[in-house]
Structure 1
Amino acid sequence: MNTITVSTNEYPSSVQTDMLSFYWKFHTQQTGIIQGDDIIEMAIVAKTRGWLSIGLDFNKTGMNQADCFIGFFDQENNLPILYDDWMPGKSIPKNDSIFGGTNDILQVTGSFVNGVTTLKFIRKVDTGDVLADKPIRNATVGISWAINSNSIDVTKVHSSYGQFNINLMTHVGILNLIKQPLIQFHLIATGSVALLMTLAGMSYVFISRKEKNFFISLVFHTKFSNLIRNEFIGSWLNPILELTIGEITLIIIHLMLTSVWFCFGYFNNSSPILSKIGKAFGYASVITLTTTILPITRYSAFVFIFGISFERAIKYHKWCSLLTLLVTTLHGIFMAIPMGMKGNLERLVSVRANGYILFGTIAWIAMVIMSLFSIEIIRRKCWELFKVVHVILAPVVLVFSSIHARGWERTLPVLGVAIGLLLVDYLLRFVFGYVLPTKVVKMEYDEKCQVTKIVFEKSNLGMWSTESLGMAKFVHVCIPGVSLFQSHPLTISSYEKLPQSVEFTCHVKNNGKGWSKDVADFAVKRKCCASSIFARVEGPYGKLSLDVNSYSNVVLIAGGIGVTPINAIFEELTNNSKHALQKNIFVIWTMKDENLMTMFPSLLERYSNVKQSFYVTSSASNSLKINSSDAYNNRVHYNSRPNFVEYLTLISETVGCFDNSAAIIVCGPNQMNIDVYNASRKVAKESGVHFHIHRETFEM
């Protein structure tokens, strides 16, 4: 059998669309005159393995009264199939015979070659079938086309469709309706923003961040409002209230970039308005899902480019994930409404629906479940459940989103960048956590302080870091003897460099339940054989938002066991800093039990440039015998709490006129963090001193 194709100049008239080509010519008995008994020959060509169709709507009623030809090439029998149908309304075309008409296709040929289906057929200009056909006349006719990319079942819904108007009798030549490719301005914008932000971030980290000038203070340290002390309201609003101008700019850029992707999706399709908006939200979800992944890499590009470490970047992950859920929900709503209007809502859960819609539905359900388990009260009280849900459902979201609507063509190339960084991050975690061993040198529990002290030793390669371990670094620790899968962040409270390794100490407060209690019980049982304990340690992670070494005045504020990063920074400044004696260091530490001071003796040591104040909220104990001198006792205040406004006011009076700024590092209970933050804003406004504050927290 000869292959049927459309050759050049075979048809004098044609229409070319993005997905389908339509050709026709007349065979007349009298030159120049088209009569009812004359023949019209038509051809429809599309790249499809399924069915394709053309509809002639002579009254231009929107396919309510249309003469339809729908068919396919039967590859099994090597035979072209074409039906002469009539569309009485917004429904599936039905055979002419149902309406009392007849099959008026006189001849049909066709082929399927290299994925392209061609159907050629002829009929009379006027078939005489008054019940289910219309005569072709010298007038503009509305023509609709549709194809199904995969199925030859003509009752299945189309995967692509379109329409145009033309006069079949008078038109000669090619009507080119193929849209010119839209400039990929969304990708250009994304690449430009990424480049500019990278340059800006690196210049801040490596150049400007070490300078304290008006611009740096304005952009990176100026904040507009006090924080809210109410725990519930504050958990929602405080992350927004403490945004700096630089962070607000970053958020605005992200929202603008999301809008650019929305606009590209809107103008890059010719669907009806609701579907057009739905597809636009689909495009926007690509960039929001990509930016959701970027902040959660522990060995993150954020650290090297923006100086924003994992524990501080996590809030951006939360916000981007909420934005992604909102955008994908709107995408689903605007795509579902037209389906509902046509009675096709079952496509949302149909395996056979074109565009792999079911995969998108599953991905959205997975997002909703992850968001529910991310609510703060659930996340804090059921951390392990939250973690398991994320580990299981996150791959579902990524994989199914990359399949939905042929996502491997649009979604995956962009999302793949973030996924690639995440895979590299997990590889590094595996290498530094499993391949490079960690030795437990000491593990002991202090019953009075209710604190477990763990001393680790790891090779220099395994503890690689671009800056000192004394600058509030933390590690993720898993002790299989305590829990096989649980991994928790622990701050490095002190460290010592050995010739081939690093020995570092972490402290775990026993909260009376959960992992911290299990660690305490395990330490008591294994006190005499710590060296046989296996532990997996990832890190170090973390980065201060301030370059402490560039400040002449440093304020270190701790609450309870929150002293661990403060102790590390204090030791770094007093022992390892080149200009330690040129700094004014202020230490204030609040605790319930004075016995806790015995675990951090470095903070009690006196230096000429250091002023220490210790607040014990309980009465004095005779059991504490560290230093009984009057000088020591003058530093300790019992049954009281510090007034941070008064304390910072006194500090502001000592700040020199040449360095009118001070760094504040605070770590402790959330309420104390908020009090210090609000006090620093109040005193800064009254004194003119610039207090640049870093709040250390592990509120994941």
Structure 2
Amino acid sequence: MLRLPARLALVAACYLQHTYAQTTPSVCASADFSIQPAISVGPLTVRTLVTETHICFEVNMASPTAKWTALSLSASSNMINVPNNNAVIFDAAKNTAQLHVLKGYSSAGVTVQTDQSGLVVKKTSSANGVLSFTFERTLAAPSVYDVDIDPAVPTNLLWAYGNTAWPSFHTERGAVKLALGSGTLMDSAPDAGCYGTTAIIGAITFALMALLGLVATHAGSGWRFINQRTVFPPTQHRAPLPWISHAISDLKIGEAIVVILYVACVVAVGVSVQVTFPTASASRLASLVSGHIALVALMFLLLPVARGQHWEVVFGTSHERIIKFHRWLGRVWFVAGTVHLVLTALSVNVTSTNLYGSQQVVPLYGFVAFVSFASMALLAIDYIRRTYYEVFYYYHRVASVVGLVFALLHSKAVQYAMIFPLVVYGVTYLFRLRTYFNRYATVPKAHGSNTVALTLPASAQTAKWVRTSNPCAFFWINIPQVSLLQWHPFSGIVTPDGQSISFRIKAHAPGSFVDNVYNYVKAHEGAPLTVLVDGPHGKPAIDVYKYDAVVLVAGGIGITPMLDLINRHRQQQPTQQTKFYLHWVVRAADDLLAVEDLLFPLPPGVKATFYVNDGGTGDSSVQIYTGEFIAYKRGKPVLDEYINTSRFHEAKVGVMACGPPRLVQEAQWRSHNCCFDFHKEVFLL
């Protein structure tokens, strides 16, 4: 409690201050004020006069549509600062000017200041399309929401106006620096936003991933724990959620380290956003964080679709192995982008074309980008993608360009973050343009099992592919007579003479690309077919020649990558000691003849067992082009008889599988139980 003399002194001081304020002439009433120049501040004009202790402002805005206008003296060019600053907002409908505290970027975050004593309003008017208000304040900050004014030092002056009745979101805003003592207008400082931080964090993360990948690929090629061991064991039977169970059972330890680095990147980005915007409300902060998490996902998801051998150099893998990360990141983007959109829509019109917030984003462009990417995500659902693959593929092509363009227009942060991914994608795309010069005329053959044989004419290029491509490599194929735009991946098979590449493609559904090729070949028997070839791509997860034995499990047309491996072995058999054990199951005996010219006779070092699962009984045989009869067993292979440790005692064994998911899954499960290295050859469209 204050003693009585102290109370009397405080009352006296307040009385004297009030009396001084009443007796001190108003700065705004000075004759010098009217002759001060009016300075253009955006669409406003501002006139000021400074005395030793006070300053007067006259603000005018000529606009037939403006409903309110505002002026703020701020510690920075940001609307939201720490601590919060205030603004004088003139409401034309009420013809009043009041102090408002700026706590958030939405109109709900702008509240009337409880203490209005720091503002002395001298005049307000709204007539003939001109909004005008004049006010006076002290140079010393009259409240915690005000800033001190030094007439000799430029002051941040923020302005805004709205064409809808207050309270509403501004139509336009801006910031300048004005030396209030001299009336000198300075260049405005840029908004303190989180523009480049996310890009820098993402770049550092990717650089670390690449460094670890180079070490594991080149210095640690023998690190089985990193390169072969999976995080979770595979399941023997089909799991309820295969898109989850298969993904985690295929995830190698090395890949898991990459995922951990990505998660750390997301956490770092979230922390950086929180540090940059410490006073943001919970919803605003969540909107910012989710937006930047979506941006990180967008940065990284573009990289896996950049096809090229650079992935083999850096990570020892290939495009089809890392495309799963593209799918995962797409789901992350969809969730984060949806959260960002919903939270943003609570405070701003998402169809607005005005710059919004400290990030200076254009909401409409972000909304268009979201619609483009989100619709891509919906079409990427497994059932839709597989059933309507052509629709998915072409829509993906068009919508991705639209989404990227509008995402770049949405925010500077996106522009900075997407520089590296777009450069990588652009360079690899330019490199792939040479594909259009890899044109071959070949005479295809149609087999009764809905299979088409395409063999490229031997040339220097095909011989080079044989020498330099990886085993089980695949090529993207385009056949202009069937479709000018469609490209599909198929395993390339080294021909038995080692001079060219052949393809065996099988139609699985009416109306599909291969079905159209098959029908065209049947209708134009003996006619040459133009084939465009993009490749080679792909690298097996195991180096087959580092094993004593390799078990090859194939189902149906899944024989094609195994054929490539066998024919490569045919060329290298004097120098290679690896033994190959092929187990191939088909639905009909005629299916064995679809590749007879590529498979038979079997080279030394290859033992093959064939199965026909046509529901019949008893083993039988089929005659091949050489006149020889090839025996086959009825039913499916019993894999535990062939993938076990007793059969390969103290041998280093690798297993490769390609075919129906259940066959591949069982081969993977048994390989894991035997601690055999495993490679899955699957084209998942």
Which TM-score applies when normalising by structure 2? 0.73
Map residues 141-540 of structure 1 onto 2, 5 A cutoff: 142-143=145-146, 147=158, 157=170, 186=198, 189-209=201-221, 211=222, 215-217=223-225, 220-227=228-235, 229-230=237-238, 233-269=241-277, 270-299=279-308, 301-337=310-346, 339=347, 345=348, 347-352=349-354, 354=356, 355-404=361-410, 407=411, 409-432=412-435, 434=436, 436-447=437-448, 449-457=449-457, 460=460, 468-469=468-469, 471-495=471-495, 503-514=500-511, 515-530=513-528, 533-540=529-536
Give the AA of the match of 1:540.
P
The equivalent of 1:576 in structure 2 is 572
How far, CA to CA, are the matches of 2:171 and 2:445 in structure 1? 69
How far, CA to CA, are the matches of 1:441 and 1:178 in structure 2? 62
Deviation at 1:483, TM superposition (A): 2.0
Q: 1:35 to 1:417 in 2, by over 3 A?
A: same
Q: Retained in 2: the 8 A contact 1:662–1:691?
A: yes
How far, CA to CA, are the matches of 1:461 and 1:47 in structure 2? 68
Q: 1:272 to 1:527 in 2, by over 3 A?
A: same
Q: Retained in 2: the 8 A contact 1:469–1:492?
A: no
Q: 1:677 to 1:326 in 2, by over 3 A?
A: same
Give the AA of the match of 2:42.
R
Between 583-592 and 192-201, the greater mean CA deviation after superposition:
192-201
SS at match of 2:146: strand
Identity level (%) = 19
Unaligned runs of 5+ in 1: 1-29, 55-66, 76-80, 103-122, 163-176, 340-344, 685-689
Give the AA of the match of 1:697.
V
Q: 1:585 to 1:45 in 2, by over 3 A?
A: farther
Q: 1:646 to 1:231 in 2, by over 3 A?
A: same
The equivalent of 1:671 in structure 2 is 662
Q: Retained in 1: the 8 A contact 2:95–2:124?
A: no
Deviation at 1:570, TM superposition (A): 1.3
Deviation at 1:297, TM superposition (A): 1.3
Q: 1:82 to 1:357 in 2, by over 3 A?
A: closer
Q: 1:224 to 1:45 in 2, by over 3 A?
A: farther
Deviation at 1:314, TM superposition (A): 1.2
Q: Retained in 2: the 8 A contact 1:52–1:148?
A: no
The equivalent of 1:587 in structure 2 is 582
How far, CA to CA, are the matches of 1:135 and 1:48 in structure 2? 18
Q: Retained in 1: the 8 A contact 2:456–2:502?
A: yes
Deviation at 1:517, TM superposition (A): 1.8
Deviation at 1:331, TM superposition (A): 1.8
Deviation at 1:608, TM superposition (A): 5.5
Deviation at 1:374, TM superposition (A): 0.5
Give the AA of the match of 1:379.
R
How far, CA to CA, are the matches of 1:45 and 1:266 in structure 2? 40
Q: 1:228 to 1:321 in 2, by over 3 A?
A: farther
Q: Retained in 2: the 8 A contact 1:477–1:489?
A: yes
| Match 2:646 to one of 653, 665, 668 | 653
Q: 1:330 to 1:68 in 2, by over 3 A?
A: farther
How far, CA to CA, are the matches of 2:56 and 2:327 in structure 1? 52
SS at match of 1:143: coil
Q: Retained in 2: the 8 A contact 1:470–1:569?
A: no
Q: Retained in 2: the 8 A contact 1:309–1:541?
A: yes
How far, CA to CA, are the matches of 1:228 and 1:288 in structure 2? 33
Map residues 20-35 of structure 1 onto 2, 5 A cutoff: none
Deviation at 1:192, TM superposition (A): 3.5
Q: Retained in 2: the 8 A contact 1:53–1:147?
A: no
SS at match of 1:38: coil
How far, CA to CA, are the matches of 1:623 and 1:665 in structure 2? 26
Deviation at 1:669, TM superposition (A): 0.8
Q: Retained in 2: the 8 A contact 1:471–1:568?
A: yes
Q: Retained in 1: the 8 A contact 2:214–2:314?
A: yes
How far, CA to CA, are the matches of 2:215 and 2:384 in structure 1? 40
How far, CA to CA, are the matches of 1:555 and 1:455 in structure 2? 27
Q: Retained in 2: the 8 A contact 1:293–1:422?
A: yes
How far, CA to CA, are the matches of 1:506 and 1:199 in structure 2? 37
The equivalent of 1:692 in structure 2 is 677
How far, CA to CA, are the matches of 1:627 and 1:463 in structure 2? 26
How far, CA to CA, are the matches of 1:562 and 1:681 in structure 2? 21
The equivalent of 1:616 in structure 2 is 612
SS at match of 2:495: strand
Give the AA of the match of 1:299.
G
SS at match of 1:276: helix
Deviation at 1:242, TM superposition (A): 2.4
SS at match of 2:42: coil
Give the AA of the match of 1:694.
H
Deviation at 1:680, TM superposition (A): 1.5
Q: Retained in 2: the 8 A contact 1:439–1:457?
A: yes
Deviation at 1:538, TM superposition (A): 1.2
- 2:15 equivalent to 1:38: no
How far, CA to CA, are the matches of 1:456 and 1:149 in structure 2? 68
Deviation at 1:489, TM superposition (A): 1.1
Alignment: residue pair count: 578
Q: Retained in 2: the 8 A contact 1:49–1:152?
A: no
Deviation at 1:93, TM superposition (A): 3.3
Deviation at 1:126, TM superposition (A): 5.6
- 2:55 equivalent to 1:49: no
SS at match of 2:353: coil
Deviation string 1:551-598 (CA, Å, 9 cap, x unpaired) is 222111111111000010112123225632x22221111112223333
Q: 1:82 to 1:303 in 2, by over 3 A?
A: closer
Between 367-376 and 639-648, the greater mean CA deviation after superposition:
639-648
Q: Retained in 2: the 8 A contact 1:146–1:159?
A: no
Deviation at 1:127, TM superposition (A): 6.1
Q: Retained in 2: the 8 A contact 1:228–1:238?
A: no
Q: 1:180 to 1:369 in 2, by over 3 A?
A: closer
Give the AA of the match of 2:247.
P
How far, CA to CA, are the matches of 2:585 and 2:39 in structure 1? 76
How far, CA to CA, are the matches of 1:142 and 1:470 in structure 2? 68
Q: Retained in 2: the 8 A contact 1:40–1:125?
A: no
Give the AA of the match of 2:483.
S
Q: Retained in 2: the 8 A contact 1:665–1:695?
A: yes
Deviation string 1:46-83 (CA, Å, 9 cap, x unpaired) is 996345999xxxxxxxxxxxx997846779xxxxx998
| Match 1:560 to one of 549, 556, 560 | 556
Deviation at 1:370, TM superposition (A): 0.6
Deviation at 1:261, TM superposition (A): 1.6
Q: Retained in 1: the 8 A contact 2:71–2:89?
A: no
SS at match of 1:588: strand
How far, CA to CA, are the matches of 2:677 and 2:383 in structure 1? 31
Unaligned runs of 5+ in 2: 1-16, 48-54, 73-85, 99-116, 126-132, 148-155, 176-188
SS at match of 1:517: helix
Deviation at 1:439, TM superposition (A): 1.5
